Amino acid sequence: MNITMNRSEIISSVNRAPMHTPFGAYETAEQALTLDRTASKYMVSLNGTWQCGVYETLEQVPEDWYENMPQCREIKVPACWEFEGIGKPVYTNIPYPFDRTRGDHSFETEVTPGNYELNAPYIPKENLTVCYYRHFELPESFAGRKVFLNFGGVETAFEAALNGVKFGFSEDSKLDAEFEITDLIREGENFLAVKVMSFSPQSYLEDQDYWHVHGITRNVSLYSKSPVRMVDYQVQTLFGSSMEDAFVRVRIWPDHDTPLFGTGRVFMTLYDAEGKPVAEKETKPFAEYRSYLGPDKIAEEKFPVPSPCLWNSEEPYLYTLVLEMRDGEGNVTDIESCRVGFREVRIQNGILELNRKRLVIRGTDLHEWSSDTGRTVPEDELRKTICSMKALNFNAVRTCHYPKDSAFYDLCDELGIYVVDETNIETHGYGGGLSDSPLWLSAYMERAKRMCLRDKNHPCVIIWSLGNESGAGANHAAMYGWLKAFDNRPVQYESGGSRPEMSDIICPMYPDRDWIETCMSNGDNRPFIMCEYIYAKGNSNGNMDLYWDMIRKYPRCQGGFLWDYHDKGVYVKSADGKKQLRYAGAFGESVKDPVPDMCLNGIVFADLTPKPAAWELQSLQSPIQLVYRDWHGIIGSYYVVNENLSMDTSAYVFEWELVCDGFPAESGILDLPPVKPGESRRVELPYDRNLVEGEAFFNLTVRQKEACQYAEAGHIIYRKQIPAEGSRTYRPERLPEYRGPERLTVRGEEDGILRIGDENSLEIRFDRERGALKEVRKDGKVMMGGEQDVFYRAPTGIDEGQGTNCYNEDWIREGLDDPKGKVESFHVYQAEDAVFVKTELSHLDGKISLEKMYEISGSGISLKVSAVNATCLETLPRIGQTVILPEEFHAVRYYGRGPWENYRDRKEAAFVGIYDSMVSDMHVPYVRCSECGGREDVRWLEICSDSGEGIRISGSRYFHFSALPWTIRQYAQADYQDQLGESCGTVLTLDGVHAGLGGDTGWTKNIHPEYRITPGCYEYEFRFRWIGREDRA
């Protein structure tokens, strides 16, 4: 067998066995009922420590690589070899990891001009290759049986040999490759050799937006079967006129290589979740059945299961089907089993339905990635990931952009996650040319077929996907046709506009509000489900509420998949021994994506800790909602809406609280009769209206009543805050009238520094040249210093976009990061009880002008600002002031939105209240440092030392603030958290106005107009006063 890596024909495999549902090769029916595929004596894991030889190019591999083990080093299997000290991980979004224009590569053939100068199917000589070796013993229990070797996943292509004989080759790195080795294996010790290549011709089909890593990345196992065996089986649940009229249909493919197959038959038993049999069925001998989709005979039987428990995300009830194959003498020769979830997926009148109810996809895209181990994700980490999704009210995953390890689907069946199973095809960096090429048809078809054949029996899989960003061509239409003929699930595909001939669903990426509105009325009556939306790069995810408004407004707008779930970095150890996350470019790799941190777009961090935006989305996509409905705008009421498919509201506890001016006034449990799934109930908000005073809010918190697999009892699933009836608008604080014995006067000026103070304890210094407050001292101690006008923020992932034509590029070009203000005037006025300082400043050659009036008295300082933005920028990031406070001022109490970080376009789930925090805790550790820690709609705040001494700040209207250990410049200049450097104290930034974050996409300017700081005049006022412990709120 001689496989060349550069050729004019596409060879996907040599001697690879047909794909099938995962086997357990069980010994008994009782063992099969456990569904433990590792329990049988006929199943052996080859995971563990192997030996390997490393070669920079394929040509360097010795010709006899499979016969003798060279000088080797140890390597773990499964593992990505980049995480074992071999090679470097490469992250790209669009470019191929062997893209000639992105690094120093030499191709084996002359390239032709075109997109990135690539030339499929040819690959570069620079092709790191690792040869794996291990010895293993053949179990005695395998004697007389057929023996199979299964590789769960190998990136990217591999050739295998046993006992010095090459027997197989496979491409498609995200699906099992299995080989029958009965004729090669021998009793006792065997020698297995596997040559794994980084790149192969079909690497052109695997240009996903991810880290390109390699090796034997999934499990390797050896199993044996009787010659009289099942080759595959398919299980489907069908329904009649109602969901109580249920059937199970089973198709079984026998091994036709055995002459005895015709007399064999299969006994099927369906067990409920408690292990009790509920239905049985026996096939006829296989010889009596017809052929199906090919020349081979299959057995097909259907049996009823009246009124079954249904499977859905809320209540993922699972049965177990055990299949026992028996020969003509009645001897059991083969036993398999799988979970069965009774559910129906269909599209009816333009609506995607599950169990004949409208299904809302609360989804996320999920890459197969661990920042500790790369593409090799341990099962316990997979479980933890899915549980964290469920806790945030996600109910669906799109397997972007390839099938996952089989264990993932088992967990989704168990925990209740709907899956869009996506074919391992993406040609983003090559365009769509391959999708119309007959040369590549078999590779396209094979990838879709094999995915479907492996995952077909999982109830969690509700939709097949033809791949991602590969253009739209005849090959996709052929894939669609086969999937629709073989299976009854819908099929989707985004590229090319979700054409009806290849997609049952309109599944766009990142549509805006207008696009959605158009799609709801353009006559295309298919379900509308966004395959990617609300881009979660760094500190982003503004405007999520607008999407959920649409989902609840239009029945055909049925949700979408957030891009994406978790940050995908690589952990390294820093000089101090701590784990630090790194992104593209940190490893000296020769190919680096133009946007190196584009892999950091999770709604949760790499360790699954939710980012602040996650709490916003959790409430927005919660299946329980409190909504106000009115009648023609005249009279209305609040309703509890239950969007669940099967659970009523008795599963939850509805806690409420009345809060007045930030302080609790009353609380209780909402006495709510159960609201059935899909229904709503009018509720009277039960607080005492006589207790309402000042600014008052009604807070509702919905918790799970009982513990479940993914959360403890009391877990919060929904939060909602509404103004209480009779609430008054918050009245801004005024500085208290000063009644002290000392007057504040101008005490002198030296070197441009103006000193204002009283006879004893207070001194305030102004910098005439900067037109700003320089320092405040009280009793000789610095209380505040270093006021500076600020119009810039450390750029977020959305601000930076793709690096060009982005907000941050505009801001830097305009000079916002270092505005260098010019003092146009500086005047000091002495009044009876106060000193007034008026300054006029111009920044950016007059494009931003400020008029600031300081009123200084013994009670504190009032700062009134009138700012004029005359720039041509689409938006400024902020208009405000920053001051440096002593480091010991680290305790924060504020009245505003919290408790987590929030911004103008991402604050729905952040309640107005009084919150306590430490400055260090207000920092949010986004991997790439950026603007963080902001709080919106703030009425007042206090920052104090442990002794209670500090400063209280209030505004003439709601304002935005952050209190952080580092400056804006430090955040903007640091690539990583461990590069922030030393803190210079508490950096307090007070913004009269702060722009939204955006988040519709990661590569356009998409802060919505209502959240921009556009040209115009902005006025605000801050009032500072010094407080002690007795003065704190």
CA distance 12 to 23: 23
Query: Which of 790, 778, 802, 803 has the alpha carbon at shortest distance from 949?
Result: 778
Contact, 196 vs 215, CB < 8 A?
yes
Quote the Cα angle for 800-801-805, to 5°. 90
CA distance 476 to 496: 11
Question: Strand, helix or coil at 1011?
Answer: helix
Helix spans in 722-858 (H): 797-800, 807-814
CA distance 274 to 259: 39
The length of the chain, given as a count of residues: 1033
The residues with which 627 forms a beta bridge, in sequence order, are: 639
| Pair of tokens at residue 6 | 């550069």
Listed in sequence order, the residues at least 6 apart from 144 whose beta carbon sits closer than 8 Å to its beta carbon are none
Listed in sequence order, the residues at least 6 apart from 420 whose beta carbon sits closer than 8 Å to its beta carbon are 363, 396, 397, 398, 399, 462, 463, 464, 465, 492, 531, 561
CA distance 420 to 651: 28
Query: Which of 838, 854, 841 has the alpha carbon at shortest distance from 1022?
Result: 854
Catalytic, 532? Answer yes
- What are the CA-CA distances from residue 509 to residues 74, 513, 534, 672, 830 (Å)? 43, 12, 9, 39, 62
Catalytic, 657? Answer no
Query: Which of 24, 32, 40, 74 has the alpha carbon at shortest distance from 54?
Result: 74
At position 861, the amino acid (one-letter code) is I
Where are the extended beta strands (E) located within 858-980? 860-869, 878-885, 891-898, 911-918, 935-944, 950-964
The residues with which 776 forms a beta bridge, in sequence order, are: 764, 784
At position 207, the amino acid (one-letter code) is D
Q: Which residue has the tokens 């941050």?
A: 808
Packing angle of the helix pair 406-415, 379-391 (nearest 10 deg) = 40
**Catalytic one of 446, 532, 657, 949:** 532
Contact, 420 vs 558, CB < 8 A?
no
CA distance 359 to 361: 6
Provide φ and ψ at 19, rounded to 5°: -70, 150
CA distance 809 to 817: 11
CA distance 104 to 425: 26
Where are the extended beta strands (E) located within 414-505? 418-422, 461-465, 491-492
Question: Strand, helix or coil at 396?
Answer: strand
Q: Which residue has the tokens 């253009």?
A: 471
Query: Which of 702, 688, 692, 625 has the alpha carbon at shortest distance from 659?
Result: 692
Would the CA dihedral through 384, 390, 392, 394 be positive or negative? positive
Query: Which of 330, 282, 381 has the alpha carbon at shortest distance from 608?
Result: 381
**Burial class, 248, CB count within 10 angstroms (exposed 0-12 / middle 13-18 / buried 19+):** buried
Provide φ and ψ at 530, rounded to 5°: -70, 120
CA distance 781 to 93: 53
**Catalytic one of 159, 469, 775, 908:** 469
Just list the catalytic residues: 469, 532
